[in-house]
Amino acid sequence: MSQDAKFSQILASSVHDLKNSLQTVRSLIRALALEQANSEKPEFQILDFETARMNSCVMQLLILYRLDASHFKPVLEECRVVEILEEVGYQQSLQIQLRQISLTVECSADLFCFCDDTLINTVLVSVVNNALRYCRQAIRLSGRQQGDFVCLCIEDDGPGFSSGIMEGIQGVKSCELEKGNTGLGLHFASTIAELHSQGQRSGFIAIDNESTLGGARFSLFLP
């Protein structure tokens, strides 16, 4: 095995261990926050939010590494869209509760899509985590059929995407490091979307500031 291959293997193992440790820490924070009468203290909010953010980044890096090393392929199954969206909301329930954010899910119960629900969950949790960072009071998750694609949307009532981020998704500019935006989330989402294909159609993402709540809108299209 070459030195580069050994380093990649060690790096992947370290990231995997880090992911497990972060999940343990986050579970403990949640348990403490729910047990303590003062669980609304901002320290709990910050701890839960930042560990969730770190865990999301680590998960994305680990999956991207496995995809690059051809150690990972999506498992496409028929999934009920509303269940995917509700699970995403559930995973952010503590943060939503602590910050008194209104998170709604709007989707027909008979809407289905073919996808790797674990990968899609990782994408959507990352986007909701980002929406929690910028929203004022509300986040909306929705699903609908749009032509030959199933569209999963995440909208918020924050200030919307900056021009730098809007340009980044078009390949003009990839990140805004000075504002804490690495571009990893959108790159990961776009990569995962493209892995979902049927015939000549492949998944894709889109972002704009046309949210029905007045802020940012992220859309994931699955064939």
Burial class of residue 2, CB neighbours in 10 A (0-12, 13-18, 19+): exposed
**21-66 pLDDT, tens per residue?**
777 887 787 777 777 655 566 777 777 778 878 888 888 888 888 7
pTM (predicted TM-score): 0.79
- Top-confidence residue, 165 or 104: 104
Closest CA to 204 of 191, 217, 185: 191
Q: Taking residues 63-91, what's their average pLDDT?
A: 88
Give residue for tokens 């998704």: 169
- Considering the chain, what percentage of its residues have pLDDT values greater than 90? 44
* pLDDT the model gives residue 169: 60
